[in-house]
Amino acid sequence: MVAQTETESAKHYAPVRARRPTDFDLTLPALGLLALFFVLPVAMLLTRSVTEPVPGLGNYAELMGSSTYLRVFANTFMVSGLVTFVSLLIGFPVAWALAIMPSRLASVVFAILLLSMWTNLLARTYAWMVLLQRTGVINKMLIGVGLVDKPLPLVNNLTGVTIGMTYIMLPFIILPLYGVIRKIDPAILQAAALCGANRWQSLVLVLLPLAMPGMAAGALMVFVMSLGYFVTPALLGGTANMMLAELIAQFVQSLVNWGMGGAAALVLLVVTLALYAVQLRFFGTDRLGGS
């Protein structure tokens, strides 16, 4: 009886999956690596959040109950939102221009985008630390043209983080948005013009809605990336506007509080995965891999 069921199920399977036994086996080494050095460590860290120092949800209660930590959460969302908004505001016209400008000119802009993206993150952050310091070029220029008479505090605060992170995130919004605008059929815009739409109407009623999926996907990606950023906020931001990733690092490195570190990591992880789930649900899988 048992043997019969087995042959039946084998028969049932055989035509559906013409599986060569080696194909799955080929993924095993990578699977082993990820299981051992990715899934396991993350799971262990998250477990510590409910077991240390005592079993229970005490760490989460502390994280959610303290105004200090809540301010870090709020600040993380605020900075990420601001960076996303500014990136989108600058990125849309640039992506639009790139999609329609002569290809020779566009390739120069692309080369600079790539150069900026590929340049070491710390080198780029360092550049902004120097540019924005009290005696830096930006302050000198502002004073020189008479806009301000005292140097502005541009670094170790929200301004510094926003400028530095927007600088890093811009290519990540321009490139996907360029791809989306590039795919829009110019004839649709022509039709809008023929139907009597002026430029503003064409922009607001036709081009923007058509570009919306790309804008939403790019914005979500930049937002999620910003949420977990560590280096740039740590170097360009001040102590008053700490972000979540810095908090996690601080719990682990200076306070050696693994329970709280694990709890904060779980919060970041859950928010990130939830936002990615939204992205997958509404914009398909094609944006997952970046460009």
Partner 1 sequence: MLLNFDRLGWWKLVLIGITLATTAFLLLPILFIAALSFGSSQWLIFPPPGWTLKWYQELLADPRWLQSAWTSFRIAIIVTVLSVLLGLVTSFGLTRGRFPFREALKALFLTPMILPVVVLAVALYAFFLQIGLNGTLTGFVLSHLVLALPFSILSISSALEGFDKSIEDAAVLCGASPLEARIRVTLPAISHGIFSAAIFSFLTSWDEVVVAIFMSSPTLQTLPVKIWATLRQDLTPVVAAASTLLILLTVLLMLIVAVIRKGLKS
Choose one: 2-10, 60-68, 144-152, 247-255; the region binding partner 1 (CB under 8 A).
247-255
Our finding on whether 82 is near partner 1 (CB under 8 A) is no
Nearer to partner 1 by Cβ, of 206 and 219: the residue is: 206
265 forms part of the interface with partner 1 (CB under 8 A): yes
57: Cβ–Cβ under 8 A, 6 or more apart, which residues? 50
With contacts defined by CB under 8 A, how many residues of the chain interact with partner 1?
95
Considering only residues 52 through 81, tell me which ones interact with partner 1, judged by CB under 8 A. none
Q: Does 90 bind partner 1 (CB under 8 A)?
A: yes
Return all residues near 239 (Cβ < 8 A) that are at least 6 apart: 156
Q: Is 154 in the site for partner 1 (CB under 8 A)?
A: no
Q: Which residue spans within the chain are E strands per DSSP?
A: none
Q: Rounded distance, CA 55 to CA 63, Å?
A: 15
195 makes contact with partner 1 (CB under 8 A): no
- Considering the rule CB under 8 A, would residue 236 count as an interface residue with partner 1? no
The one among 1, 123, 145, 147 contacting partner 1 by CB under 8 A: 123
23 is a contact residue toward partner 1 (CB under 8 A): yes
By CB under 8 A, is residue 128 in contact with partner 1? yes
**15 is a contact residue toward partner 1 (CB under 8 A):** no
The verdict on 177 binding partner 1 (CB under 8 A) reads: no
* Cβ atoms of 282 and 216 closer than 8 Å: yes
How far lies 219's CA from each of 74, 136, 227, 273, 279, in Å?
A: 19, 31, 12, 15, 10
CA end-to-end distance (rounded Å), the chain: 54
**Is there binding between residue 131 and partner 1 (CB under 8 A)?**
yes
Candidate segments 57-65, 67-75, 126-134, 143-151, binder of partner 1 by CB under 8 A? 126-134
With a CB cutoff of 8 Å and minimum separation 6, the contacts of 143 are: 149, 150, 151
Stated as kind and residue range, the H or E segment containing 140 is helix 137-144
